[in-house]
Structure 1
Amino acid sequence: MRGNTSKINLEQLQSLVHTGAGYDLLRYYILPDLLGKEAPFLLYYMGKNLARNSNMEKLEDITEYFQQFGWGTLSVVQEKKKEILFELSGHVLEKRIQNPLLEVDFKMEAGFLAEAMKILQDVNGEGFEEVDKKKNLVVFKVVHT
């Protein structure tokens, strides 16, 4: 359990040292083994919880968190009245998608986006992801419910 209840800010994240290999093995290899068939559901809600504990004030903050978490480069593709589309790309993401050792999913990122948009726009929503292996990117849709 965390002893400090303050929110995570971008400056704190920038001071952390991390390696992608350790993170990927923990996230895609060990956690699913420990969590079993509930892993996608739990990872989604872990992402929501992470967003609730992050200090975000504007849409650009979300993209910066994605970068600092090592998730990749997030960009807004399209905004509609009841949904917003994001695209996640980058070298790290490409390596993750193409790695034969890992069965990757992006539930945590989808949960993070759903909760982040709730925080910024004060509307409930759900996040969905679709991996495009040919283009080495992930498209996220956050739908307001």
Structure 2
Amino acid sequence: MRETAKLSTDNISSLVATGAGFDLLRYYTLPDFLGKDAPYLLYYMGKNIARETTLTTWDELYEFFQYMGWGELTLIKEKKKEIIFQLKGHIIEKRLNQKLFQVDFRLECGFLAQIIQVITSDTYECVEEKHVKDSMVEITAIKG
């Protein structure tokens, strides 16, 4: 097994990638390999990526989403057993309005669930709700 550095906003800012290439892998290639289990595995891939980060604060989380090209993540409302986020921005609008494939945000949800656990010390499960008309995604983190 090769040794790799933990992911941080400092070192990921040096990566160069295009969203189109990432989306082709995510929505064409992975489902072909993984079949109907692709959404579940993407969720756990997100959790795994989060475990390889050094993120410990909300601000680092929001910055990480920006650097990864996952959109602008904003905390909208905090309840006793839920935390509601909004994911928006140009990249989200483009993903929601393209006609090539059906998009999901399972990778982002898995990542978010794991980082919330790091920040709050509580276990959360995240689910997304797409709002195509408003060009945004609402992600609800539900305390486990």
Query: Which residue in the other structure is 2:26 paired with?
Result: 27
Q: Which aligned runs of 4 or more in structure 1 are off by greater than 3 angstroms?
A: none
1:68-107 maps to which residues of 2 (within 5 A)? 68-107=67-106
| Structure 1: distance between partners of 2:58 and 2:50 | 12
Aligned residue identity for 1:57: T
Query: Which residue in the other structure is 1:132 paired with?
Result: 131
Instruction: For residue 134 of structure 2, give the secondary structure of its aligned residue in structure 1.
Output: coil
| Structure 1 unaligned regions, length at least 5 | none
TM-score normalised over the length of structure 1: 0.95
In the alignment, is the contact (CA less than 8 A) between 1:96 and 1:102 conserved in 2? no
What percentage of residue pairs aligned between the two structures are identical? 47
Instruction: For residue 84 of structure 1, give the secondary structure of its aligned residue in structure 2.
Output: strand
Aligned residue identity for 2:28: Y
Instruction: For residue 141 of structure 2, give the secondary structure of its aligned residue in structure 1.
Output: strand
What's the offset of the Cα at 1:33? 1.4
Coordinate RMSD, CA, aligned? 1.0
Number of equivalences: 144
Q: Deviations over 1:83-137 (max 9, x none)?
A: 1000000101111111100210001111111111001110011011000111111
What's the offset of the Cα at 1:57? 1.6
TM-score normalised over the length of structure 2: 0.96
In the alignment, is the contact (CA less than 8 A) between 2:56 and 2:115 conserved in 1? no
